[in-house]
Amino acid sequence: MRTLASVSLLALAVTALATGAGNAASSGTPAFVTAQRLADAGKEPGNWMTHGGTYAEQRYADLEQVTSANVGKLGLAWSYDLDTARGQEATPLVIDGVMYTTTAWSKVVALDAATGKPKWTFDPEVDKARGHSACCDVVNRGVAAWNGLLFVGALDGRLIALDAATGKVKWSVQTFDASKPYTITGAPRVVKGKVIIGNGGAELGVRGYVTAYDAMTGQKAWRFYTVPGDPAKGPDGEASDDVLKAKAGDSWFGDFWKAGGGGTVWDAIVYDQELDQLYIGVGNGSPWNRQIRSEDKGDNLFLSSVVALNPNTGKYIWHYQGTPGESWDFTQTQPIVQATLTIDGKPRKVLMQAPKNGFFYVIDRETGKLISAKNFVPQTWATGVDMATGRPIEVPGARYEKAAATVMPSALGAHNWHPMSFSPKTGLVYLPAQEIPMGYETDKSYTYKPGAWNIGISALPLAPPNDRAVTKAIRAMLKGQLVAWDPVKQKEVWRVQYDGPWNGGTLATAGNLVFQGNAKGQFQAFDASTGKTLWGFDAQTGVVAGPVSYRIGTTQYVAVMAGYGGAYPLSIGFPDKVDHMAPNGRVLVFKLGGTAKLPKVDMAPLAPPNPPKDAFTAQQIADGGAIYEGNCGVCHGGGARSSGVLPDLRRSGALTDKDQWQAIVHDGLLKENGMVAFSSWFNKDQIEAVRAYVGVQAKYLASESAPGGK
């Protein structure tokens, strides 16, 4: 007996050492996050130790100092100014009194979570030229923590481990072939000592995958490719080989591998601690257009799917594909939330996801079987989901196979990456939804251009006509909502209607509150049961990120990254009235009775329109328009209309200087700012044609700005 007891005690001691659970090993070691602490994250509501709060990623803060009764007294506790006006999409982690967050260009900052005092900053010094490969801004969505280390995925493909105490690099590993247009914007996750990271790039032409690395050494553990590679090259020697051969290979046709096929895993990577499974959200095809990608045939597995993997080996378990034969940029990378819901009287372990295609899915985590699906915004591409097969019932013509089609939702999604939350108290999901239709037309002159945009659509269809009435009418169609959704009944319970899309992620709290920022710069609290607006704060810039809540001592804090950016603000040709450049982003932190004042930001004024006097031909303007809308508009705005995040080219001094224009666009004079040389894809005549097109837009702007032009 005595021996047995000793052995048991020894085993307990070893376990405690290995996990560091509540013992001396954790004290004094910053971000000492262990397997046990992550598994029990729900028991530490004062911390926010992993991307979605806990492994279930419900983004629910079990803190109730701030309630629907007293939220009116919420005030600013502190703010921290960031050094960039590019998009702020990160979810901060808060561990034992320290906040770790990321900002554009993959920079990391550690702040005292009670005061905002910086502890250290880390700049991976990403080559700004990589910004050209980023479809949707040079953003970063956050870090992961483990055992005194922090992990950040840099835009250029490095997965970097930092000492959480100092911000010094412990190890760094290149996760993709840097000669290809991959990027990383997503937050890594740590599961049982492995760091898991994916990538983006499916607009430009890449093959998607996720990789697991040993958290302490950076050594690769496994890789799972989401789509097949070039059949001539044989298997990859990776965890995905068997299932790609058995299930995916027959679902692709033609020379699908030439542009990579797509299927990048750029956001949702979620661990199921109850079933020891990993769920990855898989993105769109490369190119978008299945007619070009796969002879317009086949489901093209595992595009636009949730795939369950064994986290230890990377082996396939099951998948559910929401958009078979994806052809609209309908990614299924959107945030995945896990819960146990009572459905038909029985508890079911489910995952919930509201991907770009507009359906809210409830999926059985044990089997991957679809439990229910319902559209949460109006949509025109499918009339519903066939519950016998789990497949969408497509509307004929929506694939624009014979003629151009206007489709809703669109590439910007009925819901994009902006995190949704779930409150176990109300049983509701709080979803930042949006309505953005888009025209799709096959690019008849498509050729694969390595490293450039390769979507197979004739031109980015967000270019507005130079007609005030039409622009106004289209602008009015673009909407955004905060939707409270009952996932059991698959129906809306309440909504907050905004007059535009691209609003912030959500946080639900035990105080019966939902927090959300919006594109117009208001950070607000709503009653979780009724949707009543209870509190608001002027953030002085658009808020798109997801908020978090944490506790230090007895004080509950609510934090959010403020800063406008991402795909919609960059690409949309229908911005609201813009009278200044976007200001730098900030970290904003609130508490009851907070009295800090947010300093007024300096709004950089806009230069006047600068139309060139040159006499361009109609052909030049038309050619320039096709090139601009297919390559430039995605960052500088459709119709060259900037929302203020990136420079408005209609106001550029270089627009009236032919040589300067060539020096920037052809030769890469401003590559330090992320504006690479376009000489690999376009000659000087083509680049001059782009100047002709932007010149026309500048003239139109000047006519609008002139007295009597409004």
Under the rule (CB under 5 A), what is the footprint of Ca ion?
284, 329
Q: What share of the chain is helix, strand, coil (3-state, %, to 5)?
A: 20, 30, 50
Between 263 and 624, CB nearer to Ca ion:
263
Q: Using the minimum distance from each CB to Ca ion, give the nearer residue, 199 or 284.
A: 284
d(C-alpha 167, C-alpha 553), whole Å: 25
Token duo for residue 302:
């595992």
State the minimum distance, in angstroms, from the CB of residue 331 to Ca ion.
5
End-to-end CA distance of the chain: 91
Residue 203 beta carbon to Ca ion: minimum distance, rounded to whole angstroms: 5
- Going through 310-457 in order, the beta strands assigned E by DSSP cover 316-321, 336-343, 346-353, 359-364, 370-375, 382-386, 391-394, 405-407, 421-423, 428-435, 438-440
Considering the complex, state which of residue 288 and residue 359 has its C-beta at the smaller distance from Ca ion. 288
Shortest distance in whole angstroms from residue 330 CB to Ca ion: 9
Which of 107, 109, 125 has the alpha carbon at shortest distance from 117? Answer: 109
CB 336 within 8 A of CB 279: yes
Number of neighbouring beta carbons within 10 Å of residue 104: 27
Alpha-carbon distance 115 to 359, whole Å? 41
Per-residue CA distances from 571 to 31, 329, 501 (Å): 38, 15, 13
Closer residue to Ca ion, CB minimum distance, 47 or 284: 284
Residue 182 or 526 having the CB closest to Ca ion: 182
CB of 333 to Ca ion, least distance (A): 8
Residue whose token pair is 């106004």: 472
For Ca ion, give the closer residue by CB, 103 or 333: 333
- C-alpha distance from residue 163 to each of 80, 110, 285 (Å): 22, 11, 37
153 half-sphere exposure, CB direction, 13 A CA radius: 32
547 touches 421 (CB < 8 A): no
Q: How far is CA 551 from CA 61, 93, 98, 311, in A?
A: 10, 12, 11, 31
Please give the radius of gyration of the chain, using alpha carbons only, rounded to the nearest integer: 25
Which of 109/184 has CB closer to Ca ion?
A: 184
d(CA 127, CA 584): 20
* Min separation Cβ 329 and Ca ion, Å: 5
Separation in Å, CA 691 to CA 433, 456, 586, 624, 638: 36, 24, 35, 7, 14
Question: Nearest distance from residue 141's CB to Ca ion, in Å?
Answer: 15
Supply the minimum distance, in Å, between the C-beta of residue 45 and Ca ion: 35
Q: Which is nearer to Ca ion, 455 or 528 (CB)?
A: 455
- The nearer residue to Ca ion, 139 or 215, going by C-beta atoms, is 139
Nearest CB to Ca ion, comparing residues 285 and 611: 285
CA pair distance 452, 631, nearest whole angstrom: 8
Task: State the minimum distance, in angstroms, from the CB of residue 283 to Ca ion.
Answer: 6
Distance of CA 128 to the CA centre of its chain: 20
Q: How far apart are CA 186 and CA 463, in angstroms?
A: 28
SS3 readout for 376-402: CCCCCCEEEEECCCCEEEECCCCCCCC
**Mind spelling out the 3-state secondary structure of 463-481?**
CCCCCHHHHHHHHHHCEEE
Q: Return the number of the residue (368 or 566) whose C-beta is nearest Ca ion.
A: 566
Q: Taking a C-beta distance cutoff of 8 angstroms, is the pair 495, 479 a contact? A: no
Report, in Å, the least distance between residue 7 CB and Ca ion. 55
CB of 249 to Ca ion, least distance (A): 23
467 part of the active site = no
Task: Tell me the longest C-alpha to C-alpha distance in the chain.
Answer: 98
The amino acid that residue 245 corresponds to is K
* CA 280 – CA 599 distance, rounded (Å): 41
Q: How far is the CB of 291 from Ca ion (least distance, A)?
A: 17
Q: Which of 329, 443, 623, 648 is catalytic?
A: 329
Residues whose CB is less than 8 angstroms from the CB of residue 344 and which lie 6 or more positions away in sequence, other chains included: none
Catalytic residues: 329
